[in-house]
Amino acid sequence: MTTPPPLPAAMTRRHLLGRSGVALGTLAGLAGLTGCDDRQADQEPPAPSDPLAAKPPMIPARATRVIYLHMAGSPSHLDLFEYKPELAKLTGQPCPESLLKGKRFAFIKGVPKMLGSPFSFSQHGQSGQWLSELLPHFATVIDEVAVVRSVITDQFNHAPAQLFLHTGQPRFGYPSLGSWVNYGLGSRNRDLPGFVVLSSGGKTPDAGKSVWGSGFLPSVYQGVQCRTVGEPVLYLSDPPGMSRTLRRGMLDSVQALNRIEHDQVGDPETLTRAAQFELAYRMQTSVPEVMDISKEPKHILDLYGARPGYVAPTDAMGDPRAHYKGDDPTFANNCLLARRLVESGVRFVQLYDWGWDHHGASPGESIDETLPIKCQQIDRAVAALITDLKNRGLLDETLVVWGGEFGRTPMMQNDVRDTLVKGFMGRDHHPYANTMWMAGGGIKPGLALGATDEIGYYITEHPVTIRDLQATILHQLGLNPFRFSYRYQGLDQRLIGPTNEGRVVTELLS
């Protein structure tokens, strides 16, 4: 009588996990699981039961890690990337009826007025790309990135659009991009989480933790939010009065008792749990170490504009937007941290920077006053991240992605006031055209892909959908977006959804 192998039906063969009740490949002794202090990425043989053990890609990979910079709220493509002199000429004119017919807007009412950018644009780098004056540092690395000027989404409210972008569905309950990657490729460093989330701007994204949640994937794959204030990971620090020696001794007692139990009962899960305690112990050292940017030399801190130990006063505010300062280094600190994390083998680092929703309806959310402050907060840091990754030889294998969840209207938002008032110039949500950029990880540098019409309303060339973007990111990581799946509710669920609309944007690849 042959006995069927113990594969749970809800999981695919390749991704057999160390779940409760599932047999382990080998029963590693407890001694072999302790005292490991080797933090070199990709060095240790994975524990057979470890669901985060590094796994080989499905197809040849161009990138091994991702830094995703999400500007929550959605910056205006028309004021940063899209030089539209025709739109400027139309400023103050009523929007043609043809652009409004059949369209849904979040806030615009009736017939709004057209709004050109108040900022000046010029061309930069070998590639001659247009950029506004708000991104002077980014302009210096423009030849390293591919700018996609034709991103389109089908969601026009923040939470659904963020969910669609990061989980492939505009609804709750689906795994985020980072957790998919964590599940598909595992972690390259056993002492650190495989998927780390850092946030700035004083708020978490509109869709909450679901944008780094694991949905129907096991929760071990969800993003771990590392905080820059307080403990970097919740409950990471030993309590006051518990020295490291005492902690080690206490854990030795735990493991001795676990060993007695394992001798009696023999459940392999006991060993898995014992190993997780050892990993937790190592994380107590490795996480604070990697999170401590004060170890960086001054020229690196200056490059990013980072300031170790900075606590943003806006973090404690109910509504921080009117209090943003251009020299707030929180995002810069996070960019530097992102580099340190990928350098240490973290697979996926997700940054969220809140405060980019520039409607012009209330103080602290305008195109003319708030957008320049937000750009000041990120411009130097983003350029530094690209430069630093490149100097360290990390850019080749690190895919950097930047963008919001949708674009903004070429019309002025008019629900509160329909005349231009200083500090209240605003644009509504616009799903039909947006700009994002990518760099490193096999992306063609110095590329401008796609174009919009002369007012930046519709895409005229190379539309890139959210599904295309997701397919491309997975593809670069060596995960075939069409076949990379997880069985749930009877279906092979995929990040790119059930239909085959998404495609790998080969034009972007080097």
Residues 119-148 contacting other proteins, CB under 8 A:
none
Residues 310-339 contacting other proteins, CB under 8 A:
315, 318-319
Which residues contact residue 459 at a Cβ distance below 8 angstroms, ignoring those fewer than 6 apart? 150, 152, 432, 433, 450, 451, 452, 453
> For other proteins, which is the closer residue by CB, 32 or 498?
498
Interface residue with other proteins, options 32, 43, 123, 246 (CB under 8 A): 246
Is 250 a residue that touches other proteins (CB under 8 A)?
yes
Which span (85-93, 181-189, 229-237, 379-387) binds other proteins, by CB under 8 A?
229-237
Residues 41-60 contacting other proteins, CB under 8 A:
51
> For other proteins, which is the closer residue by CB, 54 or 135?
54
Interface residue with other proteins, options 218, 308, 423, 446 (CB under 8 A): 218
Interface residue with other proteins, options 92, 208, 309, 326 (CB under 8 A): 208
Return the closest-CA partner of residue 384 out of 337, 449, 433.
Answer: 337
To other proteins, the closest distance from the beta carbon of 499 in angstroms equals: 9
Residues 377-416 contacting other proteins, CB under 8 A:
none
Is 206 a residue that touches other proteins (CB under 8 A)?
yes
> For other proteins, which is the closer residue by CB, 121 or 354?
354
Residues 104-123 contacting other proteins, CB under 8 A:
104-107
> For other proteins, which is the closer residue by CB, 142 or 279?
279
Longest dimension (CA), the chain: 82
Interface residue with other proteins, options 8, 29, 35, 313 (CB under 8 A): 8
Interface residue with other proteins, options 45, 56, 60, 241 (CB under 8 A): 241
> Which x/- pattern over 258-287 shows residues binding other proteins (rule: CB under 8 A)?
x-xxx--xxxxxx-xxx-xx-xxx-xx---
Interface residue with other proteins, options 98, 126, 245, 506 (CB under 8 A): 245
**Token couple for 323:** 């209090």
Interface residue with other proteins, options 74, 189, 210, 330 (CB under 8 A): 210
Query: CA–CA separation, 510 vs 447, rounded Å?
Result: 10
Residue type, 12: T
Query: CA–CA separation, 181 vs 195, rounded Å?
Result: 8
Interface residue with other proteins, options 113, 390, 444, 487 (CB under 8 A): 487
Interface residue with other proteins, options 45, 297, 393, 490 (CB under 8 A): 490
> For other proteins, which is the closer residue by CB, 431 or 441?
431
Query: CA–CA separation, 468 vs 504, rounded Å?
Result: 6
> For other proteins, which is the closer residue by CB, 123 or 253?
253
Residue type, 464: V
DSSP-derived letter for residue 216 is T
Query: CA–CA separation, 76 vs 185, rounded Å?
Result: 34
To other proteins, the closest distance from the beta carbon of 12 in angstroms equals: 4
To other proteins, the closest distance from the beta carbon of 455 in angstroms equals: 21
**Token couple for 223:** 């993003």
Query: CA–CA separation, 184 vs 171, rounded Å?
Result: 22
Is 172 a residue that touches other proteins (CB under 8 A)?
yes
Q: In which element (H, E) is residue 364 found?
A: none
> Which x/- pattern over 149-168 shows residues binding other proteins (rule: CB under 8 A)?
--------xxx---------
**Token couple for 13:** 């063969």
Is 503 a residue that touches other proteins (CB under 8 A)?
no
> For other proteins, which is the closer residue by CB, 140 or 204?
204
Which residues contact residue 487 at a Cβ distance below 8 angstroms, ignoring those fewer than 6 apart? 9, 10, 11, 12, 493
> For other proteins, which is the closer residue by CB, 281 or 331?
281
Return the closest-CA partner of residue 402 out of 314, 335, 481.
Answer: 335
To other proteins, the closest distance from the beta carbon of 241 in angstroms equals: 3
Q: Which residues pair with 197 in a beta bridge?
A: 225, 350
To other proteins, the closest distance from the beta carbon of 132 in angstroms equals: 25
To other proteins, the closest distance from the beta carbon of 343 in angstroms equals: 21
> For other proteins, which is the closer residue by CB, 82 or 428?
428
| Cα–Cα separations (whole angstroms), residue 477 to 152, 465, 473 | 23, 19, 6
To other proteins, the closest distance from the beta carbon of 69 in angstroms equals: 19
> For other proteins, which is the closer residue by CB, 250 or 421?
250
Return the closest-CA partner of residue 195 out of 212, 175, 210.
Answer: 212
> What is the DSSP annotation of 68-80?
EEEEET---HHHH
Query: CA–CA separation, 457 vs 411, rounded Å?
Result: 9
> What is the DSSP annotation of 273-322?
HHHHHHHHHHHHHHHHHHH-GGGS-HHHHHHHT--TT---GGGG-SS-GG
Is 25 a residue that touches other proteins (CB under 8 A)?
no
Which span (121-129, 241-249, 401-409, 446-454) binds other proteins, by CB under 8 A?
241-249
Cβ(473)–Cβ(177) below 8 Å: yes
Is 235 a residue that touches other proteins (CB under 8 A)?
yes
Is 31 a residue that touches other proteins (CB under 8 A)?
no
**CB hemisphere CA count around 81 (13 angstroms):** 28
Return the closest-CA partner of residue 441 out of 508, 341, 351.
Answer: 508
**CB hemisphere CA count around 296 (13 angstroms):** 23
> For other proteins, which is the closer residue by CB, 205 or 450?
205
Query: CA–CA separation, 381 vs 329, rounded Å?
Result: 9
